[in-house]
Amino acid sequence: MPRSLRLAVALWAIAPLTSQAIAAPPAGEIAPPDFTAGDPIPDGWTQDWNLGPTGLRGWMFSRKLETTDARQIRVTQVDAGSPADGVIKVDDVLLGVGQGGVGAKPFDGDPRVLFGEAITAAETDANGGRLVLLRWRDGDTKTVELRLPVMGSYSPTAPFDCPKSAKIVDRGRATLLETMRRDPAGGHIIARSLNALALLAIGDERDLPLLKEQATILAEYAQPSGVRTWQYAYVNLFLAEYLLATGDSETVAADLKRMTRMIVDGQSVVGSWGHDFVRDDPRSPTGAKRLGGYGMMNAPGIPLTLSLVLAREALAQEPDAEVAGLDEAIAKSERFLRFYVGKGAIPYGDHRPWIQTHEDNGKNGMAAVLFDRLGDEAAADYFARMAVASHGPERDVGHTGPYFNTLWALPSVARLGPQATGAWLEESAWRYDLARRWDGSFLYQGAPGARPQTYRNWDCTGLYLLGYLQGTDRTVFTGRGDRAADPIDRATAEALVDAGRGWSNADRDSFYDGLSTEELLNRLASWSPTVRERAAIALGRSQADVSDELVALLDAPDLHARYGAAQALKLQRGRGAKAVPRLIEALQADDLWLRILAAEALAGIGDPARSAVPALLARFAVHDPEGDPRAMEQRYLAGALFASRGGLLSRSLEGVDRDALREAVRLSLQNEDGRARGNLSSIYRNLSFEELRPLLPAIREAIATPAPSGIMFADGIQTAGLELFAEHRIEEGIDLLAEYVRGQKQHGSQKRIVTILNLLTRYGAHAQRVIPELEAAAVYFETEEENFPRKLSLEKAKLVREAIAEIEASTARPELIELDG
């Protein structure tokens, strides 16, 4: 049985499904249509799939980002002159597949996987390119045959030393040349940058004039504002690679320096970027610049960092090409990203490690390539191992789609050598062969789903060819230079692939729920934080009493086992009470992550762990700037103690030492993460005003100076502080509220402004002194606000003017309290 079907078969066996009967969908979900009975494609479900080098596209039913419930493919397109032309028509229904002259079998599993695997098999020398289809047309079912070009087999180390990969590259190169000659500036600039990078990696000297033309066009890129970091990342990456490979300073050096300086200057103080670069903060008295919108986004941030690393190398030999702050920018980003080594996947932004899957939209893959180039063996090895473990359904998911998940897959897996790529492609080759079109090009294959695809019709030829080009030495992206991590052997590679089994978006639990308690306990010692978490979740759902085993694991010599024990104890809830004394001891461990996981386990256990509160509060004052430069431990302690949902002190402060508590709150309000600060709002509710008085200056500062990171959540603690000031009529709240009307983050401001204005009107006539600031804010919303829906800006202006009218008419003058100090 092909390796890529083992997990699927295991899950189907658990379901249980048969090839002839699909389980009824849950209430409210659509059932798979039967096209042979005249059912139409459901309204709005527009996505179809390229069906390999057949010239066909076809629609398959999907649910929860998977096509496992489909058993039919309805043909939506037949390319003229393709292998399918004259054999298949639009609206034919494909019911099965075979190869090599063997009769087609009805689909008895995921037709997307089975069709891709059939193409892989049909293209071998032994099968002579013969692909057999079970075709239904107008009530008649018939076996038909397509003849595909013979490409051979993937080698055991593909794409290294692989004739089939070389043939795919040759055919893809021809389509790239044709596309670039026909429309040199066509398509999305990210796709064009990757297409040019692939052509550069191929290294055919005949292509140099065309590459020079592409470099000239891309070097002119200059987008003044908006969503642009994604574009600059890949353009700058190509320009640096081009200069390193060709030495053509005249064409690109000046613009490479220009873009590199823009990226450096556009970085946040914590080493990150967002959709855009940092911008002036109108509320900052020191002229600080901050990210806007969602704040930090690692998907563009990691490629931006890699582009800086390569630009530093490329510009090193150029006269007058020094970029001020370049080394520091790389170091800041490196420091931020390295925190995630051993802990999970790099997440969306400045969040906790992502451990649901081994990859999060390609960001581990990006990090593997980055740290490989930086010479960091441990980080490169870890992120590459996570990439090898990510395959199958995991590679279909990704924020806005799996475009970047696909791009960075093979480049990161290849950091562990030919055996890693060979084992991974044995699992994933069907996906690559299904995406390849009959002319050798590749188009975007999105995740299964009904929604329109973000990257639909993007030319992905360069993206896929860069995967097949791993092992060439023309570019850093495809393998130039020394490897930081050591190559792994086949057995290790296959074990990494096995670590990624047992999960799908549609069925996340069945595989692990079917394992014995002993096997789940064994998996708690896995190198993979994702495997540990899946085992911990299953143990949490189980009724087995494993408290003794978990306490014992906390003393295991292997650090991974201790991590796994803490992860599991968190999900045991009250059943983990026996572990509380040992977890309190773990708060003093040398390892930062073990201390953090122990704190989270104590919070998960809940009330039986209240005895740990003094030890948790004491940890706030123990900060190691060298080992924990971003105060991450304080961040997680704030969640364990103060989070509204699950914090040990979120509901009651009975018996808590107030001095230790106030010091913990003060330090948390200074943390650079907005979400960490936001946890403190529960304290505002649970302390009396007199107990809060010593903290009011710190609360005021947290309102006035937003957190530099975690911007998506930074407004929470600011709003909570403003509510506190307004409730007690603290005079400084008037000016803070007036400033916040305009200075709040844009995202969600159309709703938040209602709360802010209501708080301001509580001050009655006292607020009349800030009417000029409110007038200026209304004018700003009406005439100047950018990157925000015009209709909502005008609505905000209207609300401000209504509040001004209410304040002007007010005669109430409640007694005000002046802030101490």
Closest among 510, 560, 561 to 537, alpha carbons compared: 510
Q: Which positions of the chain have pLDDT values less than 70?
A: 1-28, 101, 281-288, 450-452, 820-821
Beta bridge partners of 147: 130
Write out the two tokens for 527: 């190198």
Residue 749: is it exposed, middle or buried by C-beta count within 10 angstroms (0-12/13-18/19+)? buried
Instruction: Tell me the C-alpha distance between 697 and 694, whole Å.
Output: 7
pLDDT of res. 15: 29
Topology agreement, domain 3-147 and domain 163-499 = no
pLDDT of res. 745: 82
Secondary structure percentages of the chain, helix, strand, coil, to 5: 55, 5, 40
- HSE value, Cβ hemisphere, 13 Å, CA-based, for 362: 24
Q: 581-589 long-range contacts, Cβ below 8 Å, gap at least 24?
A: 582/551, 582/554, 582/555, 583/554, 583/609, 583/612, 584/611, 584/612, 584/615, 586/554, 586/562, 587/612, 587/615, 587/616, 587/619
Task: List all residues 6 or more positions away from 182 whose beta carbon is below 8 Å from its beta carbon.
Answer: none
**Is there a contact between 175 and 147 (Cβ–Cβ < 8 Å)?**
no
Q: List pLDDT tens digits, range 37-90.
A: 999 999 888 889 999 999 999 999 998 889 999 999 999 999 999 999 999 999
Write out the two tokens for 803: 């509040």
- HSE value, Cβ hemisphere, 13 Å, CA-based, for 188: 20
Instruction: Tell me the C-alpha distance between 131 and 147, whole Å.
Output: 6
Q: Which CATH architecture has domain 163-499?
A: Alpha/alpha barrel (1.50)
pTM above threshold 0.85 = yes
pLDDT of res. 464: 98
Beta bridge partners of 140: 137
**Is there a contact between 733 and 726 (Cβ–Cβ < 8 Å)?**
yes
pLDDT of res. 28: 56
pLDDT of res. 295: 84
DSSP annotation of 445: -
Query: What CATH code would you report for 3-147?
Result: 2.30.42.10
Helices 229-246 and 298-315, axial angle in degrees (round to 10): 30
Indicate the domain borders of the chain.
Answer: 3-147, 163-499, 729-821
